């Protein structure tokens, strides 16, 4: 059967390719040719259009495409009390390409401010999602992301001489964020997270050690932080996560199946759903899904890639779902692209039409597998 609550049988991770009008407006803003208010008007118009587009192709949810963001994570984290955006010497290294040299560091006591700009971003999304009769989905980076990328070096030792205090404040900050989004009307919230994939990657674990961090106990620490953050969510609020292996202009960072983290992630963290990437051999097999507890949790299987435009074959997708169903019940599975289409404003290397075709494909296959 189709699902009437999130995550839906046909779902999406979050980000969408930025329309040319937004890219041009951003460039003009940087040159001082238009104001921030002018840019916001263009963003508002484009977000309203894509909300209705998502509804029109049959999705039961809509995101704002992350159209107001430059990065999937830094825009949110930089507006937390105690954090700032800064520019290190190098960007993040992906396979064959490097990002802009932006990053986040912790310079003060962490907190979630009442005027965090993404609360207003969500309210705008919800207003138009309600008109389109779809559920408004909000995406924010997981708390684990704030720690893992920079590690101890990116957290002030004057403010947090030991990391126990940092993790305690991080958990409280995110609990406050969950409540704030709920109060703003959010009933579908997602924690986007690269860290669990990195914990499956020998290369990324070695990089963590090179930064002076010990990754061996991080699974348990992150699980405690996340569980604390979401523990008081009301019964009518769904919180999912997306585990990403890196997504920048169709490239990637980490490789490795989910086996090293599956038991903690699927059984030890109290998420309602998991968007897992299964679009390449780098993801490994479906065997780790055996750790999904029987019950209400849902794994959204990402076997449609957002990294290139060629459309997948329906029969191939159905076969992959059948393979996954050997390890987790079909009624606890759903379907989506493996990642967003534009985790940064640059976007992946495919056209907007190819993007919509992929989302439409997810809707059509979901109806054929789970019924209308």
Is the pLDDT higher at 317 or at 93?
A: 317
Beta bridge partners of 61: 135
Residue 91 has pLDDT above 60, yes or no: no
The CATH architecture assigned to 20-370 reads Alpha-Beta Barrel (3.20)
Residue 251 has pLDDT above 80, yes or no: no
Is the pLDDT higher at 347 or at 162?
A: 162
3-class DSSP string for the chain: CCCCCCCCCECCCCCCCCCHHHHHHHHHHHCCCCCHHHHHHHHHHHHHHHHHHHHHCCCCEECCCCCCCCECCHHHHCCCEEEEEECCCCCCEECCEECCCCEEEEEEEEECCCCCHHHHHHHHHHHHHHHCCCEECEEEECHHHHHHCCHHHHECCCCCCCHHHHHHHHHHHHHHHHHHHHHCCCCEEEEEECHHHHCCCHHHHHHHHHCCCCHHHHHHHHHHHHHHHHCCCCCCCEEEEEECCCCECCECCCCCCCCCCHHHHHHHCCCCEEEEECCCHHHCCCHHHHHCCCCCCEEEEEEECCCCCCCCCHHHHHHHHHHHCCCCCHHHEEEEECCCCCCECCCCCCCHHHHHHHHHHHHHHHHHHHCC
Residue 250 has pLDDT above 60, yes or no: no
Lowest mean pLDDT among 136-150, 199-213, 249-263: 249-263
For 308-339, letters b (16+ CB in 10 Å) and e give ebeebeeeebeebbebbbebbeeebbbbbbbb
Give the residue from 17, 12, 11 showing the smallest Cα distance to 249: 17
> What are 46-88's pLDDT values in tens digits?
999 999 999 999 999 999 999 999 888 889 999 999 999 988 6
How much is the pLDDT for 252?
45
Lowest mean pLDDT among 137-141, 214-218, 233-237: 214-218
Span 192-197, average pLDDT: 90
Span 106-111, average pLDDT: 97
How much is the pLDDT for 94?
43
Is the pLDDT higher at 262 or at 207?
A: 262
Residue given tokens 């019940």 in the structure block:
329
Structure tokens at 95: 């396979």
- Bridge-based pairing state of the strands 103-111 and 188-193: unpaired
Residue 143 has pLDDT above 60, yes or no: yes
How much is the pLDDT for 248?
45
Q: Write down the mean pLDDT value for the chain.
A: 91
Lowest mean pLDDT among 150-164, 243-257, 334-348: 243-257
Per-residue pLDDT band for 12 (boundaries 50, 70, 90) equals: very high
């Amino acid at each position: 059967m189709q699902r009437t609550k999130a995550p839906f049988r046909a779902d999406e991770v979050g980000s969408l390719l930025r329309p040319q009008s937004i890219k041009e407006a951003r460039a003009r803003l940087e040159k001082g040719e238009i104001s921030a208010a002018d840019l916001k008007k263009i963003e508002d118009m484009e977000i309203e259009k894509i909300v209705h587009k998502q509804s029109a192709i049959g999705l039961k949810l809509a995101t704002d495409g992350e159209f107001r963001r430059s990065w999937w994570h830094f825009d949110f984290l930089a507006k937390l009390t105690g954090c700032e955006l800064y520019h290190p010497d190098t960007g993040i290294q992906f396979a064959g390409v490097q990002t802009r040299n932006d990053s986040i560091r912790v310079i003060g006591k962490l907190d979630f401010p009442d005027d965090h700009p993404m609360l207003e971003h969500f309210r705008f999304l919800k207003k138009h999602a309600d008109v389109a009769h779809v559920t408004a989905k909000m995406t924010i980076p997981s708390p684990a992301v704030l720690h893992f990328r920079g590690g101890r070096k990116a957290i002030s030792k004057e403010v947090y001489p030991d990391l126990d205090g940092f993790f305690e404040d991080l958990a409280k900050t995110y609990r406050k964020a969950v409540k704030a989004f709920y109060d703003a009307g959010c009933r579908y919230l997602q924690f986007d997270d690269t860290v669990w994939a990195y914990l499956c990657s020998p290369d990324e674990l070695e990089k963590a050690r090179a930064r002076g961090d010990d990754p061996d106990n991080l699974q348990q620490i992150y699980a405690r932080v996340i569980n604390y953050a979401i523990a008081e969510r009301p019964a009518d609020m769904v919180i999912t996560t997306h585990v990403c292996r890196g997504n920048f202009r169709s490239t990637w960072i980490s490789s490795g199946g989910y086996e090293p983290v599956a038991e903690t992630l699927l059984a030890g963290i109290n998420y309602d759903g998991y968007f897992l990437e299964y679009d390449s051999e780098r993801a490994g097999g479906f065997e780790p899904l055996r750790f999904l507890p029987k019950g209400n949790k849902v794994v959204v299987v990402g076997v449609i890639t957002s990294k290139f435009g060629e459309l997948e074959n329906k029969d191939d997708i159905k076969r992959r779902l059948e393979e996954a169903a050997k390890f987790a019940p079909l009624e606890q599975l759903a379907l989506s692209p493996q990642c967003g289409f534009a985790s940064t404003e640059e976007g992946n290397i495919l056209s907007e039409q190819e993007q919509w075709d992929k989302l439409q494909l997810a809707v059509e296959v979901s109806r054929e597998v789970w019924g209308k």
